[in-house]
Each structure stands twice: as structure tokens, then as C-alpha cells.
Structure 1
Amino acid sequence: MEKWLFLAVLTQVLLTFVVMFIMGRRRFAAAKNKQIELSAFKTMSLESAPEPVIAAGRNFLTQFELPVLFYVAILMCLQLNLTGWFSVGCASVFVISRIIHSVIHLGHNDVVKRYKSFVFGAFVLLVWWMGITVQLMLR
């Protein structure tokens, strides 16, 4: 089961790198097309950047917000030997929700759909943490 948890972590890490790559491409393209002044990158004052540039930057930042609780849950499960199907399922569904969230955010950016995918992922994470707690208390 540990391998399946690692696969979920690896997928989340790869998602972070893909988003970083997209963010970089969008920023460089905007600078090249004179949509952003290079001096704006000195202080990261990108408020006047085109919406796709801002969305990519914001999506990259979100890869270090809620997923932190995912990474801690993974470490807890590995350390406490709670690596059963419940943890694998929660981890996998959470990562899938993050991929969907990023595809929406970096694509058509439908705020309602993006919000629903975010809330769904957060709910899965909450259920997982509750499950970890219950499993520990029942030992």
C-alpha cells in the first residue's frame, strides 16, 4: 500500500511542477509581448498582468496551501502504519480533485466549477483526517 501512497504523492508533486512550467511559460510570453514590464518581476508586482498569467501564478501558490495537509496526512499514515485502502483511496481522490481544480483554473477558469472541485478536495481531506483520528483512537 505504501507504493500506492507514494504514487499519489508523486502525482501531486508532478502536478506542482507542471503548473510551475505553465506559469513560467505564461509569464515569459507576457513579458516578451510587452504585456508585463520586466521590472514588475523584481517585486512580483503582477497585478496588471493578463488574467492567464495571474491565474497560473495563483494556481501555483495553491499547490502549497491545502496540499500541505495532504503531505502531512501521508507522513502520518506511513509513520503510524495506516496505509490501507482507506488512506490510498482518500489520497488518490484528493489528488484527482487537485488535478481537476488546476485544469479548470488554468483553462476556462469557471469559478463555480473550480470552487466545487476545491471544496470537494478539502472535504475528502477532512474525511481522511477524521479517519486517521478514528483509526488511532481505536488502537
Structure 2
Amino acid sequence: MSLTVTFAPLFVQVALTFALLLRLGQLRTRLVRGGVVNLRDYANGHDVWPQDVKNVANAFRNQFELPVLFYLVTVLAFLAGRMSMALLVFSWLFVVTRLLHALIYGTTNNIPRRFAVYAAGFFILMAMWIVFLISVVAPQ
């Protein structure tokens, strides 16, 4: 499988992470410039951000949890020559769950929906690791 095809979902996941950080910076800058938030309060550790900004910050922070294992399995599968169509499909499904999770977190923050999407991503990622493990332990 080509490098482009293999890493396309990974690049989308990275783009999501950068997009969330840019959005967070935009929201925070607007609040500071508008005088809604005082940077001294923030620097002193006070909880100064409105909930919608905290939600985007949390969505950004979440990109360093499950996605770390996604990056690892993708790179390992490629380097080991074990990237398969199943892993590629799981990769795209995982990235879709991350996009949905961030969208829910940054908008309605509907916790049951957010959890369902997070859990789906978790199980997809676990399946990726199982498929990769089997390809290493019992290669065809």
C-alpha cells in the first residue's frame, strides 16, 4: 500500500489537531482583546475561560489520548509492511470518530453522544491493534 494511501487518515487526524488549536487560539484571543478575560488572572491559574472555550480546549487535549495509539499502530504497520485494507478502513473509521467527537465537544457537548462516539473510536482502535498483532504473530 502506498505511503499516501496509508498515511492519509493520519494526516487528517493531524489536521484536526491543528484546526482545534487554531480555533482555541482564535477564541481565546478574541476574549482577551475584548477585555472579557484578563491575562493576569489566567497567568495566576484562575479558571477564566467560558465553558464553550473550555470545551474546545478539552477537544484539543483529547487529541493526545487515543490518537497517540492510532499514530503508533499506523506507523508500525507501515514500517513492518503489514498495512492492510482492513487497517486502512479502520484508520478512516477511527478518524471519523475523532472528527465527530471534536464536533460534538465543540458544539452541543451532548455527553451521551460524545461518549458513544468516543467508545466507538476506542473499539475501532482496539480492533486495529488486534489486526496488526495477528499480522505480526501469524503472518500469511
Please, what TM-score do these two structures have when normalized by structure 1? 0.92
Tell me the equivalent position of 2:83. 83
Aligned partner of 1:99: which letter?
Answer: L
Task: Assess if the C-alpha contact under 8 Å between 2:87 and 2:128 holds in 1.
Answer: yes
How far off is 1:75 after superposition?
A: 1.1
Task: Assess if the C-alpha contact under 8 Å between 1:30 and 1:50 holds in 2.
Answer: no
Matched, 1:40 2:47: no
Secondary structure at the residue paired with 1:24?
helix
Taking a change above 3 Å as real, the CA distance of residues 46 and 95 of structure 1, as seen in their structure-2 partners, is farther
Distance (whole Å) between structure 1 residues aligned to residue 36 and residue 81 of structure 2: 51
Taking a change above 3 Å as real, the CA distance of residues 118 and 46 of structure 1, as seen in their structure-2 partners, is farther
Question: Please, which moves more after superposition, 22-31 or 125-134?
Answer: 22-31
Task: Assess if the C-alpha contact under 8 Å between 2:41 and 2:48 holds in 1.
Answer: no
How far off is 1:40 after superposition?
A: 3.5
Distance (whole Å) between structure 2 residues aligned to residue 50 and residue 98 of structure 1: 23
How far off is 1:42 after superposition?
A: 2.6
Cα RMSD after superposing both structures: 1.4
Matched, 1:57 2:52: no
Distance (whole Å) between structure 2 residues aligned to residue 26 and residue 32 of structure 1: 10
Could you tell me which runs of 5 or more consecutive residues in structure 1 were left unpaired when the two chains were aligned.
Answer: none
Tell me the equivalent position of 2:24. 23
- The percentage of aligned residue pairs carrying the same residue is 24
Distance (whole Å) between structure 2 residues aligned to residue 46 and residue 21 of structure 1: 22
Distance (whole Å) between structure 1 residues aligned to residue 42 and residue 87 of structure 2: 41
How far off is 1:4 after superposition?
A: 1.7
How far off is 1:136 after superposition?
A: 1.1
Could you tell me which runs of 5 or more consecutive residues in structure 2 were left unpaired when the two chains were aligned.
Answer: none
Taking a change above 3 Å as real, the CA distance of residues 128 and 26 of structure 1, as seen in their structure-2 partners, is same
Task: Assess if the C-alpha contact under 8 Å between 1:66 and 1:122 holds in 2.
Answer: yes
Distance (whole Å) between structure 2 residues aligned to residue 39 and residue 60 of structure 1: 23
How far off is 1:64 after superposition?
A: 1.0
Please, what TM-score do these two structures have when normalized by structure 2? 0.92
Counting matched residue pairs gives 138
Distance (whole Å) between structure 1 residues aligned to residue 110 and residue 35 of structure 2: 27
